[in-house]
Structure 1
Amino acid sequence: MTKIDDHIQSFDNHQRDKRIKKYLNLFLALVISSSLYIAYIIRYTNASNKITQYSSGISYETYHYGLLKCEEIKRIKPDNNQIQDRRRNPRFVPGTKDILFKNARILDGIGHDFLGDILLKNGIISEITNIDENDIKKNDINVTDDTVMIDLKKKFVTPGLIDMHSHAGLLSWPFLRATNDINEETDPLTPFVRVKDALNPSDPAIRIISSGGVTTSLIIPGSGNLMGGEGHVIKMRNVSTLSVVDMGINYGIDPSEEKEWRWLKMACGENPKKVYALQDRIPTTRLGEGWLFRKKFQEARDHFKRQNDWCDSASKLSSNNNVQLDSPFPEDLQYDSLMALFRGDARLNIHCYETNDLEAIINHSLEFNFTITALHHALDAYRIPDIIKRANSQITIATFSDNWGYKKEAFQASTRSPKILADAGIPVALKSDHPVINAQHLAFEAAKAHHYGLDEKLSIASITSVPAKALGLNHRIGQISIGYDADLVVWDSHPLSLGATPLEVYIDGIPQFGTPNSVLSGKSKCSKGSSAQNEPVKEKGNERTASSVVINNIGKIFVDKDTILEPNNNSSVKDENISMIIKDGLVECIGNCAISNHNSSEMIDLNGGYVLPGIVAIGASLGLIEIDLEPSTTDGFVPIINHPDSVDQVMKAIDGLKFGGKHLDVAYKAGVLSSITSPLSFGLIKGISVAFKTGSHTVLDEESIIESETALHVQIGTLFKNAYIPSVSSQIGLLRRTLLKAVFKPTKRNIYSKVANGLVPLAAHTDSKDEIASLIRLKQLVKRHGGDLRLVIIGGAEAHLIADQISKNNVSVVLSPSRPVPSLWTAKNVLTGSPITNTTGIEILVKHKVKVAIGVDNSAWTRNLVWDAGWAVTNSKGLLDEKDAVALISWNLEEIFNLNRKKLNNQGLNKGNIANFVAYDGNPFDLHTKVKLVAGGGRKDILIDPIQD
């Protein structure tokens, strides 16, 4: 029993010890817990210290930041379309005077056209009053004593124009390496870079662009990358702070009242392929583009889901104040802009051309559930309206009116595209892609689209209300309505008429160019037929040919520089009817013709239209290039000549001519019946140009070549420096040695001898006044040594600065382009015209009696030469007339390059000549007029009702 008792006693002692230890542990735990609790109470009731750790994960501060991000994500953003009774423009500058426009012809941007008064107050359009046809006001606008009152006398007023695709400030004028910030081409996927971090507010282009009536621009990265980055919408008004933020459309807005949009830029197709093929990295094909797009969108969507999951989990824990997530809110700056896209806070603008590219990007948007706002360029969009409508929202097509052909994906463009898209219910915006097109002339894009069939109201909307809506800003810009920003343009003529120019531009109610009120209240610019008309575009199928025609009811015939026929203006015309008879390609009669004997010929009633001699083009590469970026479609570039003895290396353009291409066909149908084309080169000596008829079949055609050695072309300037000739002075020096050698040792077959002795012109391509001056010195030097240099300047942007010397030395100038821009350091001093300058370069040259003509440096715009000439006349303030306009694109060029009637093989408008002319159904210097008939240009048949496709 004792052992048993001992065991029992031992067990009891053990149990007692365990109980004691248990109670002791419980006691200790209670003490520790109490201490921690007391420490917690003390710590978190102290307002000066709120950092804590609920768990071993993240700080309360980090967790709270995540909760705020979730609140921001879930917060319902303002709907700008619901904003009414807007009374505040955050960009208003205190001290800006109220302005009352009286008797304005208002084109409001949303389809209305009426006479009325407009009050600008506090940076917004404060009141609008309609006026009936009898000028009896329905209501008067009450104004203060210091309100500026301007009677516009029925001048046209539009909203400020909106350019939704521009690179102004990223690729500044003049072009310099230091200011080229258009593409971050180190990776094809850079959605995270931002324009507002790079934009140059001092780009001279900003003021020049605004002088054309553009008051708002979307500045976006270029198209080198698939995902190019985030754009920035700015008002085209310089601010005193030089702040990019202050120029922004979102400056000063209240995000709780107005949604603060962001704008993204992406691109597909040829451009990213080309950039990264040079780097030998993906994408080099559309296959690679598609993969990278989907890969990045998938990464972004995964990140999007992680954020949503975190917020959902945090929301479920919100009821328990003692519990939090142990990981931070998932945030990665590289996905920030894509998160804005997925959450509907950013508007996506995508550069795409081809049908397959357009469809691919729409498919990506459906797969990853994001919205495309606008497809830019999109020159193939007119071919696939049904595919565009498959998108999950309405897409705007931001396109060109007639820029085409520079690469394959732009080759199948159509001038009818805006009309086709509009007829399909797809919004169309016209944009510049500045500096591809000088955005100063954005209205001209809309005017050309109207010429090719787009309704007048839609044409105005394409540069006002349509882009405003696409940018998400149609609550404050893009139309003339009460409460909208005071962005207005007062025009000297209908904005869709040729050469229409702003008299004054108002941004946020501030006049930008200081135009005197007397000018705004003065007489309107008037030109025959200048009002825009909505004539339907010709559909395919109307175009036809004939061997003989009778043209009746002609309003005016420009026979040559000495003869113009028009009713009641020529003694040889005995009645009101001027007519022409063309028989088997020859001019049988012109003037007062007996047309009753020609019933077998097709009768063309011109209804007062004009007849012009065939237009001559120079500057474009017609016949040598079909698609600029496709070497297999071009003649190629000639070797660089770096020695005066390299006579045999001077190439002739005639040897590389290719006829029948699309560029030649388009030019021919526009009445451009002759072209002066020089070889392609990056060096000083371009080669020998050829003058030929654009409608010819081959160089073997009878009379297809007008002059096989038209001129020797040279290129002077920094753009043509190379390893062999590294300076401009080297270029001039080589030219001097070459020409002087040709004077001292003349050789009949030597092209330099022909040039030095005046048998062939020297056509020098340059813009700088100083380079032109050096060439004039060279001409004088050659003359002192017995030569005779016939110098022609092609380009001539700064020629007006030495117009007196150009005239004195009998130098001719071919302005190319006719409206130059300060894109080069050596061409900074161009005159951009009203309202910035009171005159233009062409006017100064004409006043100094310089022989002037107009060239074209873009093959796509060769068909616009007659408009370029008309533009020069319209804005010359009476200095030039219609005859001068014709001279700029026909007989002046024939005289400059000695393409006399003998060399033209007796073509022209005189009786017995080979017919070579273009006839219009109205005044060709008005944009609503269309080509009715083309005769000559190397073709035997006469083309009637040609269609510009």
Structure 2
Amino acid sequence: MRIYEQVTLGEKILGDVILKNGLIHAIGQNLSDDEEAIVIDVKKKYITPGLVDMHSHAVISSWPSLSSTDDTVEDTHPITPYVRVQDAIKPNDPEIRIIASGGITTSLVLPGSFNLMGGEGFVIKMRPVDTVSVDDMGINANIDKEKEKVWRWLKMACGENPKRHYGPRKQIPTTRLGEAWLFRKYFAKAQSLKQKQDDWCNAATKLSNNEQLNSYFPEDLELESLVALLRGDAKLNLHCLETFDIETMIRISLEFNFTIAAIHHALSAHMITDIIKKRPKNNITIATFSDIWGHKKELFQASTKAPKIFVDAQIPVALKSDHAITNAQHLAYEAAKAYHYGLDEHHSLAAITSVPAKALGLDHRIGQISLGYDADVVVWDSHPLSLGATPLEVYIDGIPQFNTSLRILSNETSKKSLSNNKPKSEFTEKPAKSRTTSSAILKNIGKIYVDKNHTLSSEEGNINIIVKDGIIECIGINCIIPSNISSYEIIDLEGGYVLPGIIAVSPALGLAEIELESSASDGQVVPISSPYDSEDIIYAIDGIKLGGKHLESAYKAGVLTAVTAPISSKSVFTGISMAFKTGARSNHIPTVSGQISLIRKSLIKNFAQQNIFGRVARGDIPLIVYVDSKDEIASLIKLKILVKNFGGNLKLVISGGAEAHMIAIELAKNEIPVILNPSRPTPRLWTAQHVLTGPPITNKTGIEILYENNVKIGIGVDLFSLGFNSYLLGFGSERNLIWDAGWVSRNSKGLISQKDAVGFITWNLEEIIGLNMSNGLLKGNIADFVAYNGNPFDISTKVKIVAGGGRSDILIDPEQD
């Protein structure tokens, strides 16, 4: 098959690319074609090489997540270098198509990180093959192994995960001391075996024609992969985060003379760039996240500036998904966030293309649009680093994966490109220093979203906001500048936007600093002793701890209100704020039907009482139920109707809502709002198989269908605890809520306006949860807003001002850690 395309290349060159026989056949301008060519004029759209994800657990921890299909880690012993991911990959896993729809064409699938030596990974192309063969999906399928180096990829881990997993079993390693000893012990065994093999080979070369050795070639299948590493035939991918853990592993690598290809996660590594760069014999790649942090100790020192620090130190940096810790479908979003936090455009794109390709030893085939490379090419609907950028078509080995019509590929895109309104000069200029003031005048405002009914725009005239001692003195067109202007700080927004303070419906914000550390967390709710009574209900407010790093991070991003329920993994009733998890496991109420029955009995029994259940049944406070399944949501709709027949007014709120779009009409009819957690759900659970993942797989998403059917919508922080990892996926991501809202608007094809999207994280949540906040963007009110230096839905826009959120001072130029 041959495809001829007119495109804008990563180097910003307008030209043509010819894909032929699975390879990139030609690159240039006005290339000639022939009658066999399929010619696609993509109207100067951006194309990139296929994205390379160098850390994924996809296809060994399948969607939907089931114990029968989870083969992530052989956690029966901390040393298992001999197991192979290749033996557990499921070539018909639905994850493959979803991940490929984000432009990911190649993934390194690795074992999990409970074991010090986890086993051997496997690199696959993210496309199904007719043979339904794992081997045929492999990157090395059909290559000439005599002419081309065939790499192997090992996974090892250090730090919290192994000691946290094996420590409770009273099995080594319970400490990092034990970890280091086991590493050295087994590397010494492999080193000894390698020496015996070398001695055998040396002796064999000295034999005469009639002589033979008295022993067979020394082999040990359990150590074979480690010997391959010592011989330089395998690339080591090391899960390691703390500075001292990284230094320990570098020390061991020097002791046993092996190289580390990449240190993964490495969320403290930006503090020791000299150690990483100068001590090892090889140039280590850092494979990291852009902004994940905080749910355990070894993630707590993470910095959004880290990718740029590595680049400045000339250390290669790759961004990866760790799927399903983050959804690999949105790997480009990781790069976009790194770009927002200061990594330049070139290195941000390289971090998901050429850098991981080189770290895998595959940069001669993938990661670039170059002659003779694999024909892995992505056509984007906008700049791949812009918020919500989505592939229109993905070619893997020259084969289109989604059969996008020529009409769609040839259409002009309605999305704007990256940084359309200003140059990225902040990457070279010294950023403004963060500071506070009590009074300020905001001028040159482009737009103010006052509330759901009012928007002010610069098209109506020059609009300003004047804040005096934390109180809004004036907002709008006719503000008179005070005579004592010297007592105000003048802030030029340069056409930027002002929003009400963002509301975060979050799983643990304010209750936990390090979610996996009991001393740094409020702990988890124990199932109440008497399920129908209210005396044992937990109140989140009793455990709130102010001033922590998570709250500060959210505050700096304009999240000024948090709605938090007590942390729970086992209780049906988690407490006030009345967050109910009908899909959670419970020691006392094991079935979903039993959980809904418990809720029904508790409400009906207490209907006339003044306790918390009676107040819920009468509609004094909302009942928030965490649920994804359409069938379970339907049962809850019936519950609301039943309570109504008893004379009640149950204010039911669906949280989660992955399949809520399937019964959107009934939700709207019964005035039941939905808080989507997350806003872009995946079929990771059996009870969430019917999600709509969006283009190029589905024309619409669930949130669009809910919106079309007039369901009131909010967006919250992901509450789900991922199967083999007990921590909360969204913990620490409250600061990204503005991008979650922007993503929805930018990809709705004009259906959902920017104002509507702002409402999803502000006034809609205020109404859904019944916060009845008196603050607002009105004269005389306490200043409670966030201002940006541009459109907040542009990934390059920064937060300029944060006012309110319980503080009297106004924070100017906040900077994320």
Q: For 2:581, which of 691, 705, 715 is the aligned residue?
A: 715
1:458 equivalenced with 2:347 (yes/no):
yes
Aligned partner of 1:480 in structure 2 is 369
1:120 equivalenced with 2:19 (yes/no):
yes
Q: For 1:492, which of 381, 384, 389 is the aligned residue?
A: 381
Q: For 1:638, which of 525, 531, 539 is the aligned residue?
A: 525
Q: For 1:239, which of 129, 132, 146 is the aligned residue?
A: 129
Q: TM-score, normalised by structure 2?
A: 0.97
Aligned partner of 2:725 in structure 1 is none
Aligned partner of 1:31 in structure 2 is none
Task: Check conservation: 1:505, 1:511, Cα contact below 8 A.
Answer: yes
User: Is the partner of 1:603 in helix, strand or coil?
Assistant: strand
Task: Check conservation: 2:204, 2:213, Cα contact below 8 A.
Answer: yes
Compute the displacement of 1:143 (Å): 2.5
What are the within-5 Å matches in structure 2 for residues 716-755 of structure 1?
716-717=582-583, 720-743=584-607, 746-748=608-610, 750-755=611-616
Q: TM-score, normalised by structure 1?
A: 0.83
Task: Check conservation: 1:642, 1:724, Cα contact below 8 A.
Answer: no
1:927 equivalenced with 2:795 (yes/no):
yes
Q: Distance in 2 between matches of 1:272 and 1:568?
A: 59
Q: Deviations over 1:900-929 (max 9, x none)?
A: 2xxx2x322101100000000000011000
Q: Distance in 2 between matches of 1:845 and 1:735?
A: 25
Aligned partner of 2:767 in structure 1 is 895
Aligned partner of 1:542 in structure 2 is 433
Compute the displacement of 1:785 (Å): 1.1
Q: Distance in 2 between matches of 1:440 and 1:590?
A: 42
Q: For 1:381, which of 269, 272, 280 is the aligned residue?
A: 269
Task: Check conservation: 1:620, 1:862, Cα contact below 8 A.
Answer: no
Q: For 2:257, which of 369, 375, 378 is the aligned residue?
A: 369
Moved over 6 A (4+): 538-541
Aligned partner of 2:487 in structure 1 is 600
User: Is the partner of 2:475 in helix, strand or coil?
Assistant: strand
- Aligned length, in residue pairs: 801
Aligned partner of 1:201 in structure 2 is 91
Compute the displacement of 1:157 (Å): 0.3
Aligned partner of 1:875 in structure 2 is 747
Task: Check conservation: 1:403, 1:861, Cα contact below 8 A.
Answer: yes
What are the within-5 Å matches in structure 2 for residues 97-496 of structure 1?
97-102=1-6, 104-107=7-10, 112-130=11-29, 140-317=30-207, 320-389=208-277, 390-496=279-385
1:757 equivalenced with 2:640 (yes/no):
no
What is the letter of the counterpart of residue 258 of structure 2? Answer: F
Q: Distance in 1 between matches of 2:417 and 2:357?
A: 33
Task: Check conservation: 1:712, 1:751, Cα contact below 8 A.
Answer: no
Q: For 2:473, which of 588, 591, 596 is the aligned residue?
A: 588
Compute the displacement of 1:335 (Å): 1.5
Q: Distance in 2 between matches of 1:293 and 1:835?
A: 45
What is the letter of the counterpart of residue 28 of structure 2? Answer: T
Compute the displacement of 1:739 (Å): 0.9
Aligned partner of 1:693 in structure 2 is none
User: Is the partner of 1:231 in helix, strand or coil?
Assistant: strand
Task: Check conservation: 2:383, 2:418, Cα contact below 8 A.
Answer: no
Q: Distance in 2 between matches of 1:412 and 1:435?
A: 22
1:785 equivalenced with 2:646 (yes/no):
yes
Q: Deviations over 1:697-753 (max 9, x none)?
A: xxxxxxxxxxxxxx4221112xx233311211111111111111122xx122x0111
Q: Distance in 2 between matches of 1:211 and 1:443?
A: 11
Q: Deviations over 1:184-234 (max 9, x none)?
A: 111111111111111111221111000000000000101011100000000
Q: Tell me the percent identity.
A: 60
Q: Distance in 1 between matches of 2:499 and 2:597?
A: 43
Task: Check conservation: 2:449, 2:500, Cα contact below 8 A.
Answer: yes
Please, what is the CA RMSD of the aligned residues? 1.3
Task: Check conservation: 1:551, 1:580, Cα contact below 8 A.
Answer: yes
Q: Deviations over 1:759-810 (max 9, x none)?
A: 1101001000011000000000010111111100000000000000101111
Compute the displacement of 1:595 (Å): 2.2
Task: Check conservation: 2:353, 2:367, Cα contact below 8 A.
Answer: yes
Q: Distance in 2 between matches of 1:568 and 1:474?
A: 50
Structure 1, gaps ≥5 residues long: 1-96, 131-139, 570-574, 690-710
Q: Distance in 1 between matches of 2:98 and 2:527?
A: 36
Compute the displacement of 1:477 (Å): 0.4
What is the letter of the counterpart of residue 43 of structure 2? Answer: K
User: Is the partner of 2:735 in helix, strand or coil?
Assistant: helix
Aligned partner of 1:908 in structure 2 is 776
User: Is the partner of 1:384 in helix, strand or coil?
Assistant: helix
Task: Check conservation: 1:377, 1:399, Cα contact below 8 A.
Answer: yes
1:803 equivalenced with 2:664 (yes/no):
yes
Max Rg structure: 1
1:671 equivalenced with 2:558 (yes/no):
yes
Compute the displacement of 1:682 (Å): 2.4
Compute the displacement of 1:596 (Å): 5.6
Task: Check conservation: 1:611, 1:918, Cα contact below 8 A.
Answer: yes
Q: For 2:696, which of 835, 838, 848 is the aligned residue?
A: 835
Pick which of 526-535 and 885-894 moved more: 526-535
User: Is the partner of 1:915 in helix, strand or coil?
Assistant: coil
Structure 2, gaps ≥5 residues long: 719-729
What is the letter of the counterpart of residue 427 of structure 1? Answer: P
Cα distance change, pair 753–892 in 1 and its aligned pair in 2 (3 A): same
User: Is the partner of 1:589 in helix, strand or coil?
Assistant: strand
Q: Distance in 2 between matches of 1:396 and 1:113?
A: 27
1:815 equivalenced with 2:683 (yes/no):
no
Task: Check conservation: 2:295, 2:515, Cα contact below 8 A.
Answer: yes
What is the letter of the counterpart of residue 589 of structure 1? Answer: C
Q: Deviations over 1:518-576 (max 9, x none)?
A: 1000111324866496353586881100011111100001111111111233xxxxx4x
User: Is the partner of 2:679 in helix, strand or coil?
Assistant: coil
User: Is the partner of 1:729 in helix, strand or coil?
Assistant: helix
Compute the displacement of 1:631 (Å): 0.8
Q: Distance in 2 between matches of 1:928 and 1:484?
A: 32
Q: Deviations over 1:323-381 (max 9, x none)?
A: 12111111111121112111111111000000000000011111110011000000011
Pick which of 804-813 and 335-344 moved more: 335-344
Aligned partner of 2:542 in structure 1 is 655
User: Is the partner of 1:730 in helix, strand or coil?
Assistant: helix
Compute the displacement of 1:651 (Å): 0.8
What is the letter of the counterpart of residue 595 of structure 1? Answer: I
Q: Distance in 1 between matches of 2:87 and 2:590?
A: 35
Compute the displacement of 1:644 (Å): 4.1
Q: Distance in 1 between matches of 2:413 and 2:570?
A: 48
Q: Distance in 1 between matches of 2:585 and 2:187?
A: 44
User: Is the partner of 2:58 in helix, strand or coil?
Assistant: coil
Compute the displacement of 1:641 (Å): 2.8
